[in-house]
Structure 1
Amino acid sequence: MTATGHDASERVELAISGMTCASCANRIERKLNKLDGVTASVNYATEKASVRFPAGTAVGDLVSVVRAAGYDAAPPRPESAGADVPEDAETEQLRLRVVVAAALGVPVVVLSMVPALQYPTWQWLALALSSVVVWVCGWPIHRAAAVNLRHGSSTMDTLVSMGVLVAYLWSVWALVFGEAGAVGMRHEFSVVPRQSTTGDVYLEVAVGVTVFLLLGRWLEARSKRRAGAALRALLALGAKDVAVLRDGREERVPVERLRVGDPFVVRPGERIAADGRVDEGTSAVDRSVVTGESVPEEVGPGDAVVGGTVNVGGRLVVVATGVGADTQLSRMAALVERAQEGKAEVQRLADRISAVFVPVVVVLAALTLGGWLLAGRSLEFAVIAAVAVLVIACPCALGLATPTALLVGTGRGAQLGVLVKGPEVLESTRRIDTVVLDKTGTVTEGRMRLVDVVLADGVRRVDLLRAAGAVENASEHPIASAIVRGAGAEVGELPAVSDFASTEGLGVSGLVDGRAVLVGRPRLLGQRGVELPPRLADAVGEAERAGRTVVAVSLDGVASGLLAVADAVRPSSAAAVRRLRELGLHPVLLTGDNATVARAVAAEVGIDAEDVIAGVLPTEKVDAVRRLQERGRVVAVVGDGVNDAPALAAADLGIAMGTGADVAIEAGDLTLVRGDLVAAVDAIRLARRTLAIIRGNLFWAFAYNVAGLPLAAAGLLNPVLAGAAMAFSSVFVVSNSLRLRSFRPTNG
């Protein structure tokens, strides 16, 4: 159990046991929310309550409220990882009840349905077997109904318990006091309630409904467990121990003892124990668990690594920068869990319906009983029709429709590097029609890169790069860093420079291998009396029109070439823009850069020139978003920097690149862990798919009741079939949600 301070309030998460349907969750939620200053959200699918309460309130008081409502609350148990996790004790006990109920109940149903097997006293054997099924296997149902009755409320257990007990007690009365106990009594199974008054028994109804309900609950519990497998796998990805370097020696310690600043060793095949920065060694790191990317990333000294990822190459020494709850993996898991606490608008509607659903069904069953009696039908027919109404009306599917889809969808998103903040985000993705893309760090890579080299006549490329790279290596300017990286990649180790000098804002100079080297803006060369030949001068104009920054190089006082640097467009950006259009979205490029550069980038990725908004300050980005909204657009913003945070917050949907600033991530509704714009396409696709599954679940849950209740009330449905349909509805909803596990990324 964890509680965190926030605006003079605290938050705790409680595991709730004893819930059997959505009505239970709604009831606990209402009880908790009646406390002063308490805001609670109870999730039936995850069986957890997220409660925010005033500082100073005892957590024990919250637990007491839950227990007073007839349920139990405790800190959530740590779960094992993976989809094939062992069943917990509660699920195992439920499985045992199903096995015993089926073993004893099937003979009862078969005897009741097949007259040829009905030996003279078969009904008394059926009563004995039914009694065990109803009172032993089905005891949790009746106990929950009694607890609800004691607290003046009703749930699905109330309906089922009433239906089962009415069928069972009617049969006992018919056997003991009526004609049904006579030797040689016969009757056949009928799809509709039987209309005779000769004292038939309905033990197959009591048994069948109990077996189907228990079976449905067991399958539901298994499916819900599978639905949460992705989150459990995410939570369990961290290393259990770590080899910490102390005085040059490795010491294996539990990962909980690792501290920020500790150096630790990661061997090939091991998981990286914490977020950190590589101090020694080079290797390839498989980051698929946090980004969904299948290709390992090469890392070396100075590169950041993420805890939970796998070292697939050489030995690394990493200095920890984030441990425990401060790791990216832990924050991802927290975001995924937090996303499952809220409720989408469609689920809030379902909750309001299920809150009054059970009392309405009880009234409807009473009206069915009275209506058939007034119509002149037998008491037996009227009672069994009322039982069918009680049994088929199950609010369980309504309660599972949203939480299970959200559980599977957010878990699958985490596997693909897409984090959803809450269910309301899903509804936002359906409405958006415009996507505003920040340029720097979103459409582009966010750092300058050497993209072109133009040589004067007679100059070798390797000589130009070697000299320019050596001089720029002594500078810390971003443009200099881009030239050094590009030159180093082509010529290898750069020579030393002497007599280095820097002219602020214009360029640098120095001696390399005895040659005078000048690197800077063409204007600097002009000031030093170095003229660019016509071909190089024309190349300067072309590069600047393309949005590139041009650096001129002179060797021994002679113009020798040009180096063009630019913030390179991400390789996937053009494909991402095309796919956004395929989703029916209108892309807009937004940047603080000048219009020339912005239009060049837009043209490269396929955004129309009229959809470029350039030269805007961070506060003006918000104004640009609002102007689009005033024109009737529903706007999503994709950004990564501190300057994007206000626009992300102002948008109808904020999508933050996880490679960016923490403030941008906090302001976003969706977070993309990997720095790839195609991930935004996957995020929108997954969110829309999850919402479609939720709506499909709710449609079938409502349709099932809309179709089933009139049939039952009209006396056209045997309670056994009603019980089967009721159990199937919940299993169907969970199984439908599990389809999200097969969601594939766009580039997968």
Structure 2
Amino acid sequence: MSSSDVRRPAAAGTPVAPGLPVVLDAVSPVGSVDLDITGMTCASCSSRIERKLNKLPGVVASVNLATERAHVEVPLGTSVADLVATVEKTGYGASVVEPETDPADEGRSDAAERRLRIRALLAVVLGVPVIVTSMVPGLQVPGWQWVALVLTAVVVLGAGWGFHRSAAVNLRHGAATMDTLISLGTLAALGWSVYALTGPAGALGWTHDFSLRVERHTGMAEPYLEAAAAITLFLLLGRWLEARARRRSGAALRALLALGAKEARVLRDGREVTVPANRLVVGDQVVVAPGETVPTDGTVVEGRSAVDAATVTGESVPVEVGPGDAVVGGCVNTSGRLVVEATAVGADTQLARLARMVTEAQSGKAQVQRLADRVSGIFVPVVIALAVVVLVGWILAGAGASFALTAAVAVLIIACPCALGLATPTALLVGTGRGAQLGIVIKGPEVLEATRDVDVVLLDKTGTVTEGRMGVVAVHAADGVDEPELVRLAGAVEAGSSHPVAQAVAAYGQARGPLPGVTALREPAGLGVVAEVEGTGAVVVGRADLLASAGLTVDAALAERLAAEQEQGRTAVLVGWGGAARGVVAVADTVKPTSADAIRRLQALGLRPVLLTGDTARTAEAVAAEVGIDQVVADVRPEGKVDAVRRLQAEGHRVAMVGDGVNDAAALAQADLGVAMGTGTDAAIEAADLTLVRGDLRQAADAVRLSRATLRTIRGNLFWAFAYNVAALPLAALGFANPVLAGAAMAFSSLFVVGNSLRLRRFRPLPS
């Protein structure tokens, strides 16, 4: 998106171009609109909506189940009412997303998660006693089955009502999803149990002998309430976990929008007037005091200062700005007072564009967890047809209605997708739990698919490979000058400045002993610091120009040292007194001690590391050489980082991005795998798929290994869940699996999936 993009408010029923909250490209005759979709429960739901929208002339739609939104590219003249009506005709709700983030969105997501949590807890509280009692004959007191029936009815019809409602909606539109299987299975189990309890199984002294023996049914109807309760319970727990992940999908955008200043002090008729930042207009002159955030993009018209732009541009060293220099909204003014003339406001600022990029990057499709849903679209009608064939076939064969119905219901129950529904959530739960113990946060199942084929890792420099803060990396004293004395005097002078470079020198000096007192401190803008130091006289710390103006000479050896440090991309200052320069102090963003080891671990996993930074090529290459990275992409802004990710993806690479700043958020969202340092900004953490809580880059390799192990477990779970159905369906159809055995087999398949997932608890990180 360019700064010329236009946003317009919506008016339902009008064409997209004049009325929709749509971003219109300046050169393309195509607009885009985002729709909030309600009622989706699985990937087959999103696929159906996507197919229906894409059948409209000229429409290209992408429906994201995780964010519950559809991003629709439409030709000008397309009506928003047509888009909404198409979604509603498919059986779901739709509404236009407002141009700005709606604070109520989080509240709606919280409410949806709370409802799911309550339903899941209700299923647990009432369902567990049913399951345990049905499987342990010693607990079956007289009348137990009638109590179990009441409890199961509440679980299936109350807690599981959402499954039945979704199945009914899909039925009206001629479609079938996993909810259809769940609804059929649980209602069949409950209905058969009611029928069974009208016979001998309803007697007060009747007990249920749990057995895994495969034998022909004797004709006696037996309830299998545990199957209905277990299916509902496990699937609700899975849905709750998914809802928790979806609730956080919009947090990256909210974090980005929260970064900007909320108020600005504007000069009006020579007076400072405080106004909301969103009321600024181009041409306003804004006063920014030391420590304040620049409220909008603009140009400095008065004052000099060092501006910390690391959170927005990625530059690790604060930038000296003065009249005529551009500044970006969201940057922090570290020292002198500035007056900035606004050149871009609102949606046209760089910060707002970053927010839009994160939104666009997150509109992509999640690739995992779709296999079971795609298969269920075919599997469900096949199972229903098979159950009907079994029922009719056994009746025609003279087996009797009771036996035929028993076999048909067993087919439905034994084919119930409990194991399919648990395959992903349980492995994800155990994998993410183990990751949390190791300081690795995995956000959702889509992350796991991304780790499988990743072959390139883009590494942000500042705060990821390096510490993200300035520190003294080298001290060069002139011949005959005591280095501790040089550091002590330089630290004393710099302690009086708020500039980040000065603070680094001061901290270095303080760490090596008490600093002498100073008086008459002066700080010529952008040049350095001058002060009278007790026992020494005037001491100058700063650029060569400042020393020259103070009458201090710089010999050839020190000049060569200064040039060498600057050649390595470091910030170097001269220190002088008594008529001459006495030494050079070099400051830089220091490399983390674990970074080189982390790079080796990533390479051992078959990943090619690339250093990506907004710093100069000289600085980046020095850092890359120190940690063992061969390829560098430097001098890139946030848009450039996103472009770098897209370029590699276009070349066929699967790209991981590791970063920590707001400037990395869009690239993290665009990458196939986004990895955020836990010590970084909230925007980066929320935009990423993985978060390394301790901020140790070595965890990136462990995160990839854990994600791949979890993905392998999920795929293994899905395989055995499908294999179970393939093996069990013929047994049920031939009458060898009575409903009780069908329920037990279903429970066993679920236990197998859970047990397989629990193996992830033994995952161990690489030794340090």
Distance 1:672 1:100 in 2: 38
Residue 714 (structure 1) aligned with residue 739 (structure 2): no
Q: Which moved more, 1:138-147 or 1:77-86?
A: 77-86
Contact 1:272 1:307 in 2 (8 A): yes
Decide whether aligned partners of structure 1 residues 571 and 441 sit closer, same or farther in structure 2, where only a CA change above 3 A counts. closer
Contact 1:25 1:44 in 2 (8 A): yes
- Equivalent of 2:51, from 20, 30, 54? 30
Percent of aligned positions that are identical = 36
Map of 1:69 onto structure 2: 90
Distance 2:189 2:171 in 1: 20
User: How far is 1:153 from its partner?
Assistant: 2.0
Distance 1:93 1:591 in 2: 46
Map of 1:616 onto structure 2: none
Distance 1:181 1:386 in 2: 19
1:50-65 equivalences in 2 (<5 Å)? 50-65=71-86
TM-superposition CA deviations, 1:1-46 (whole Å, max 9, x none): 9543354444444343334444333333332232233333444455
Residue 223 (structure 1) aligned with residue 241 (structure 2): yes
- Equivalent of 2:142, from 111, 117, 120? 117
User: How far is 1:714 from its partner?
Assistant: 1.7
Contact 2:391 2:404 in 1 (8 A): yes
| Secondary structure class of the residue paired with 1:356 | helix
Decide whether aligned partners of structure 1 residues 220 and 380 sit closer, same or farther in structure 2, where only a CA change above 3 A counts. same
Map of 2:552 onto structure 1: 517
Map of 1:5 onto structure 2: 24
| TM-score, length basis structure 1 | 0.61
User: How far is 1:701 from its partner?
Assistant: 3.2
Residue 700 (structure 1) aligned with residue 717 (structure 2): yes
Distance 1:550 1:143 in 2: 69
Contact 2:473 2:590 in 1 (8 A): no
Contact 1:241 1:255 in 2 (8 A): yes
- Equivalent of 2:413, from 384, 391, 413? 391
Map of 1:353 onto structure 2: 375
- Give the unaligned 5+ runs of structure 1: 292-296, 471-480, 501-505, 523-531, 614-620, 622-636
User: How far is 1:370 from its partner?
Assistant: 6.7
Distance 1:172 1:134 in 2: 13
Distance 1:729 1:334 in 2: 44
- Give the unaligned 5+ runs of structure 2: 1-9, 11-20, 494-499, 510-515, 528-542, 685-691
Contact 1:196 1:378 in 2 (8 A): no
Contact 1:340 1:406 in 2 (8 A): no
| Secondary structure class of the residue paired with 1:73 | strand
User: How far is 1:117 from its partner?
Assistant: 1.2
Letter of the 1:707 counterpart: Y
Decide whether aligned partners of structure 1 residues 242 and 25 sit closer, same or farther in structure 2, where only a CA change above 3 A counts. closer
Map of 2:513 onto structure 1: none
Decide whether aligned partners of structure 1 residues 256 and 84 sit closer, same or farther in structure 2, where only a CA change above 3 A counts. same
Map of 1:618 onto structure 2: none
Map of 2:5 onto structure 1: none
1:366-381 equivalences in 2 (<5 Å)? 366=388, 369=391, 379-381=401-403
Distance 2:365 2:261 in 1: 38
Map of 1:40 onto structure 2: 61
User: How far is 1:360 from its partner?
Assistant: 3.0
1:547-558 equivalences in 2 (<5 Å)? none
Distance 1:167 1:554 in 2: 88
| TM-score, length basis structure 2 | 0.59
Q: Which moved more, 1:15-24 or 1:443-452?
A: 443-452
User: How far is 1:455 from its partner?
Assistant: 0.9
Residue 456 (structure 1) aligned with residue 479 (structure 2): yes
- Equivalent of 1:155, from 177, 196, 200? 177
Residue-pair matches, total: 658
User: How far is 1:512 from its partner?
Assistant: 5.0
1:159-178 equivalences in 2 (<5 Å)? 159-166=181-188
1:622-661 equivalences in 2 (<5 Å)? 640=636, 648-651=645-648, 652=653, 653=655, 655=657
User: How far is 1:171 from its partner?
Assistant: 6.2
Distance 1:262 1:116 in 2: 79
| Secondary structure class of the residue paired with 1:117 | coil
Letter of the 2:241 counterpart: S
Contact 1:640 1:661 in 2 (8 A): no
Decide whether aligned partners of structure 1 residues 732 and 430 sit closer, same or farther in structure 2, where only a CA change above 3 A counts. same
Map of 2:364 onto structure 1: 342
Map of 1:477 onto structure 2: none
**TM-align CA RMSD:** 7.2
TM-superposition CA deviations, 1:63-111 (whole Å, max 9, x none): 2222212232335775676999556675378469749975997899699
User: How far is 1:551 from its partner?
Assistant: 9.8
Q: Which moved more, 1:22-31 or 1:444-453?
A: 444-453
Distance 1:396 1:42 in 2: 26
Distance 2:194 2:665 in 1: 68
Contact 2:346 2:352 in 1 (8 A): yes
Contact 1:105 1:133 in 2 (8 A): no
Distance 2:53 2:749 in 1: 29
Decide whether aligned partners of structure 1 residues 258 and 435 sit closer, same or farther in structure 2, where only a CA change above 3 A counts. same
| Secondary structure class of the residue paired with 2:364 | coil
Map of 1:362 onto structure 2: 384
Residue 91 (structure 1) aligned with residue 113 (structure 2): no
Distance 1:508 1:254 in 2: 41
Contact 2:361 2:669 in 1 (8 A): no
Contact 1:373 1:382 in 2 (8 A): yes
Decide whether aligned partners of structure 1 residues 239 and 561 sit closer, same or farther in structure 2, where only a CA change above 3 A counts. closer
| Secondary structure class of the residue paired with 1:714 | helix
Distance 2:124 2:613 in 1: 64
Contact 2:418 2:750 in 1 (8 A): no
Map of 2:6 onto structure 1: none
Letter of the 2:52 counterpart: K
Contact 2:50 2:61 in 1 (8 A): yes
Letter of the 1:693 counterpart: T
1:608-687 equivalences in 2 (<5 Å)? 640=636, 648-651=645-648, 652=653, 653=655, 655=657, 665=667, 669=671, 670=674, 674=680, 686=703
Decide whether aligned partners of structure 1 residues 113 and 158 sit closer, same or farther in structure 2, where only a CA change above 3 A counts. farther
